[in-house]
Amino acid sequence: MSPLSLDLSPDLFPALTEAQADPDGPGAHRPALRFGDRSLTYGELAATASPLAARVAEAGRIAVWATPTLETAVAVVAALLAGVPAVPLNPKSGESELGHIVSDSAPTLVLAAQGTQLPSALAALERLAIDIDTSAPATSLPSPGTSDPETPALIVYTSGTTGPPKGAVIPRRAIATTLDALADAWQWTGDDVLVHGLPLFHVHGLILGILGPLRRGGSVRHLGRFETAGVARELSEGATMLFGVPTMYHRIAETLPDDPALAKALARARLLVSGSAALPVHDHERIAQATGRRVIERYGMTETLMNTSVRADGEPRAGTVGVPLPGVELRLTEEDGTTAVEAYDGETVGEIQVRGPNLFTEYLNRPEATAAAFTEDGWFRTGDMAVRDPDGYVRIVGRKATDLIKSGGYKIGAGEIENALLEHPGVREAAVTGEPDADLGERIVAWIVPADPQSPPTVDELADHVARRLAPHKRPRVVHHLDALPRNDMGKIMKRALTHD
Ligand code: MCA
Ligand code: AMP
């Protein structure tokens, strides 16, 4: 582990402060954000985010309608400047998921781009339209001295095995340290130009993908939605880094044989980074073969931000997530959850536990869940199972909970989908599992006992039902009908007995 180098300065975005202080200086004219044909320099970002920050400064907590747009980036930056915690909302969330997040996090305001139609679940909230007007006179940025590093910066909702998603409270300290640790590992500087098409309501797309470049004084070009053509265009027009989930790299690997321009563009990139789920070795190899470049993986979690990475100056090794980041303590533990595994033999499996300034502070309103997530001496139990190579490289081999599914890089709890399915009148019993999928990593499979075996609900009907209530990425892709679910003597569903045959 490298020594801890903690920057506890409350100023998350020095380049923005500099642009504000010297609006005619070169720093103010540097590009900061670009979404399609709309962009902002640091000076323009300061001019548009600072009045918004002043307007939200008195709000206890705000929600942000996190579409993949310039408005979302501006709203989150404004909240961070004001020191007001922001809750990013997935604009595709269904009524039940949105209702839960809003009642749990109790924001006083919702920020959304001007002209956005918001769903009824948000009707009771006061609304503030984000209007990007770079001609507005910049008000002074709120004094950075007012923000304690422990102040909650973001509350990001993340699924567990059962029940609705929990709000992970992420302090400013965690954002600053994780981004600085990545800068060290990736030699990430203000000269880098990042391209990605990740959603902006999760850690990957928002903290790494938007706040990361802004903390470095560099820039990001967001694709609006992921497409290999957009990746090729941006990397051939000056972008230096690409972030994506394995599904995106899988689609790149599939496209490469017929797209020499994409291969050429990827070959020029300084760094290709994958995370949120494991990138299969086959996709690693296909990309390396077509481009001569190796994708590097980093490993993180909503609750911990980033824990490990293959370093830019290290050996890229497919199938591993590299070494602990500076400041992150990482250990593997035996089944008892407290005895450390000492072996670095590439064989002995243990649960990954982490400790460090990159961690969240708590699950909002869930003291018991928070307590259960940590050991007595402050290690966070990730639930991920791994081995360590002799040189310290971590290899994730699975996860403890079979009821957590990673599909397209999204973490999805089987329990929340089962609960939604049970609310469908055509479903008497339901169990949800994940099965391997070349594109998504895992796909969601629903096993149901229909209320009326003569007319069971169709896969489309159940997919729509789940998408409307929770979110489209949580919809089952496959549905099996059964006469009864396999249960043990205690009545517990035996998911391992759920197979096709
Ligand atoms: C299809 N669609 C539907 C339905 N069927 N909508 C409603 N009801 C239905 N029944 C729509 C979808 O909404 C979507 O719409 C389109 O059809 C296709 O959806 P789908 O096939 O599900 O996926 P995709 O659009 O092809 O998405 C693949 C993806 C996506 C782009 C890779 O999964 C993705 O963005 N993943 C990123 C996940 C992520 O950022 N995870 C980070 C969390 P439309 O076309 O309009 O969109 S993990 C994290 O943060 C930690 C810290 C970490 O380590 O990174
Ligand atoms: P989330 O809770 O959505 O933030 O997802 C965090 C989980 O994603 C981790 O606990 C891991 O299981 C998984 N994950 C993230 N990055 C990687 C990676 N590079 N390789 C394997 N799994 C990963």
Cα of 299 vs centre of ligand 2, distance in Å, is 6
> What is the domain-level CATH number for residue 406?
3.30.300.30
Is the Cα torsion angle 358, 364, 367, 372 positive or negative in sign?
Answer: negative
Last residue of a domain, one of 117, 145, 172: 172
Q: Per the domain annotation, does 451 fall within a domain?
A: yes
- Is the pLDDT at 402 greater than 50? The verdict is yes
Range of the domain at 406: 402-497
With bands split at pLDDT 50, 70 and 90, how would you rate the model's confidence at 143? low
* Residue 501 pLDDT greater than 90, yes or no: no
Q: Which ligand is nearest to the CA of 198?
A: 1
Q: Would 412 be classed as within a structural domain?
A: yes
Sign of CA dihedral 327, 399, 203, 156: negative
130 within some domain: yes
Banded model confidence at residue 138, pLDDT cuts 50, 70, 90:
low
In a domain? residue 220: no
**Is the residue at 461 inside a domain?**
yes
Confidence band for 134, pLDDT divided at 50, 70 and 90: confident
Q: What is the structure's pLDDT at 1?
A: 41
pLDDT at 139: 64
What local confidence, expressed as pLDDT, does residue 89 receive? 98
**Has residue 14 been placed in a domain?**
yes
* Helix residue ranges per DSSP H, 219-357: 228-236, 246-255, 260-268, 281-291
Residue 6 reports pLDDT greater than 80: no
The β-bridge partners of 395 are 387
Confidence of residue 499 (pLDDT cuts 50, 70, 90): confident
Mean pLDDT of 191-206: 98
More confident of the two residues 146 and 379: 379
Last residue of a domain, one of 154, 172, 190: 172
Residue list, ligand 1 pocket, CB within 6 Å: 92, 198-199, 202-205, 226, 245, 247-248, 275-276, 300-302, 408-410, 463-464, 467, 472-473, 475
Could you tell me the distance, in angstroms and rounded to a whole number, from the CA of residue 306 to the centre of ligand 2?
A: 10
Q: Give domain status of residue 111, yes or no.
A: yes
- For residues 247 and 278, what is the distance between their CA atoms, to the nearest angstrom? 10
d(CA 249, CA 230) in angstroms, rounded, equals 13
The 10s digit of each residue's pLDDT in 298-342 is: 999 999 999 999 999 999 999 999 999 999 999 999 999 999 999
The answer to whether the beta carbons of residues 134 and 44 sit under 8 Å apart is yes
Domain end call among 138, 172, 206 = 172
- How many domains does the chain fold into? 2
**Confidence category of residue 500, pLDDT binned at 50, 70, 90:** low
Average pLDDT of the segment spanning 16-35: 94
CATH code for the domain of 42: 3.40.50.12780
CA of residue 236 to ligand 2 center, whole Å: 29
Does 442 reside within a domain? Answer: yes
**Type of residue numbered 445:** V
Residue 425 · residue 451 · CB < 8 Å: yes
